[in-house]
Amino acid sequence: MGQALPKKKNRKTLYIILGGVLSILLLCCVLVVIVGQREGEPETALVSGSPGPTSTAIPSEIPTLTADQRPKSISPVIASTPTATIATIVPAVPNLTPSHTVAASSTPTRTETQTPTRTDTPQPTETSVPTATATAPPSPAATSTLTPAPPTPTPLRVPAQVLRVIDGDTIEVSLEGQPYKVRYIGIDTPETVHPTEAVQWMGPQATEANRRLVEGQTVLLEKDVSETDKYGRLLRYVWVGELMVNAELVRLGFAQVSTYPPDVRYQDTFLQLQREARDAGRGLWGEQPAAAEPTTTSVPTEVPPSPEPTAEQPQGEANVVIAHIFYNGVVPSVESDEFAEIANQGSAPANLKGWRLNADDPGQDFIFPDFVLAPGQSCRVYTNEHHPESCGFSFGSGRAIWANKGECGHLFDASGQEVSTWCY
């Protein structure tokens, strides 16, 4: 009986050791399972560098053991197991953690996913360079094509070389090798070279404007109906390229419209340009200097040469026309000092009895008495003033009759035929 006790004691110790070994093996299995599951977790946790959740995830992964698998006396075994033995086993557990670094090695694949987004922005900048060079070609070179084109003769327009500028509405040209004086049709500029009259206001400016337009130029001469006036001057519209000089002088305000039928091809154009110049206050339509007031109110008593056609008129015939209309009177409100001036530009006297001057409106008429207008003589018909020195004619109107906005005066002979029209 006493010898059997040692065997039982050894056997009990053996069981304790086996139980401890089984417990350790079980713990290792549990750790292996935990490590395997952590390797299957998303990589974001590893990349973000937060290893903390590994300690909290272990309890949830520990499998529950059955009663058969659970050692009956595990606690005594652990308690009796030497600490040195446990220490030799536990260090093996950290050796399992480097397996997590393998998961971290997948992070380079994340950087590879960024490579397709490699910016090729230098390429668009290269395409912008040609666009800059495309705008570089010298566009100002196009402005060098502003040189005037040479005049193109047409059946109505004949080329001539300007020899000199005489005044605002008269030039001398060389036509087919012969010199001719040319009088502009449809307009009249202030006098500067009249043999019996002083230089009129704006006359020098009109001459200078004409000089700038035509001096030294090859111009085109366009005939209307009449060939010459009574002074032998050619009656023409004068063109420089596509610019009509007659119209340009009216537009600039250096000439007034002066219409003499039948040469009225561009009358409407001239009147429109004159209205625009008057509204803009250009040239003759601007404010006159105080010193020029007397000259303004006393328009020449002797009518300057005009382009009135006489090619078909026999010698020794009268030619009565409206020479001028002073429509913007100085007298306030009623403008009684307005007047229309008529002149006999023919070579024979004319009896004006029964002739009628109309101010462009029905009822605004002046009927001439028995009065003989001598060649070269002129008379004024005032709105409501009496001036014996200029024939003493008056409409006798208590208000202004010539509208400042523009109108036409009409002169009819005793038979009722219109013989002259003057528009402003």
Instruction: From the candidates 38, 157, 222, 233, give the one annotated as an active-site residue.
Output: 233
Question: Which has the closest alpha carbon to 163: 206, 87, 219?
Answer: 219
pLDDT band at 315, cuts 50/70/90? low
Which residue carries 């000092």 as its tokens? 337
Residue 142 lies in a domain: no
- Of 151-155, 201-205, 255-259, minimum mean pLDDT range: 151-155
Cα–Cα distance between 224 and 121 in angstroms, integer?
A: 71
Instruction: From the candidates 157, 183, 236, 278, give the one annotated as an active-site residue.
Output: 183
Domain shared by 287 and 400, yes or no: no
Q: In sequence order, what DSSP letters do the residues of 1-30 get, joined into one string?
A: -TTHHHHHHHHHHHHHHHHHHHHHHHHHHH
- Indicate the pTM of the whole model: 0.40
What pLDDT sits at residue 211? 95
What pLDDT sits at residue 245? 97
Domain shared by 97 and 203, yes or no: no
Report the pLDDT averaged over residues 30-41.
73
Residue 134 lies in a domain: no
What pLDDT sits at residue 41? 56
pLDDT band at 398, cuts 50/70/90? confident
pLDDT band at 18, cuts 50/70/90? confident
Residue 378 lies in a domain: yes
Instruction: From the candidates 38, 157, 191, 251, give the one annotated as an active-site residue.
Output: 191
Of 148 and 344, which is predicted with more confidence? 344
Domain shared by 265 and 330, yes or no: no
Burial class, 398, CB count within 10 angstroms (exposed 0-12 / middle 13-18 / buried 19+): exposed
3-state helix, strand, coil in the chain (%, to 5): 35, 20, 45
Q: How many CB atoms lie within 10 A of CB 331?
A: 13
Last residue of a domain, one of 102, 121, 148: 102
Of 151 and 143, which is predicted with more confidence? 151
Cα–Cα distance between 182 and 173 in angstroms, integer?
A: 7
The answer to whether residue 191 is catalytic is yes
Domain shared by 167 and 261, yes or no: yes
What pLDDT sits at residue 303? 42
Peptide bond into 190 cis (omega under 30): no
Domain count, the chain: 3
Identify the CATH number of the domain in which residue 197 sits.
2.40.50.90
Residue 418 lies in a domain: yes
The answer to whether residue 11 is catalytic is no
Domain shared by 41 and 95, yes or no: yes
Report the pLDDT averaged over residues 232-260.
94
Domain shared by 321 and 264, yes or no: no
Phi-psi region of 316 (alpha: psi -120 to 50; beta: other; left: phi over 0): left
Residue 123 lies in a domain: no
Report the pLDDT averaged over residues 289-314.
46
Identify the CATH number of the domain in which residue 411 sits.
2.60.40.1260
Domain shared by 266 and 317, yes or no: no
Cα–Cα distance between 21 and 207 in angstroms, integer?
A: 133
Cα–Cα distance between 56 and 44 in angstroms, integer?
A: 17
The answer to whether residue 183 is catalytic is yes
pLDDT band at 105, cuts 50/70/90? very low
When the pLDDT of each residue in the chain is averaged and rounded to a whole number, the result is: 74
> Three-state SS for 283?
helix
Residue 188 · residue 241 · CB < 8 Å: no
Q: At residue 124, does pLDDT exceed 80?
A: no
Residue type, 247: A
**Most confident region among 11-15, 71-75, 346-350, 355-359 by mean pLDDT:** 355-359
What pLDDT sits at residue 242? 94
Residue 209 lies in a domain: yes
340-385 pLDDT per residue, tens? 999 998 889 999 999 999 999 888 999 999 999 998 888 999 999 8
156-209 pLDDT per residue, tens? 899 999 999 999 999 999 999 999 999 999 999 998 887 777 788 889 999 999
Residue 300: alpha-carbon gap to chain centroid: 46
Q: At residue 300, does pLDDT exceed 50?
A: no
The boundaries of the domain holding residue 343 are: 313-423
What pLDDT sits at residue 281? 93
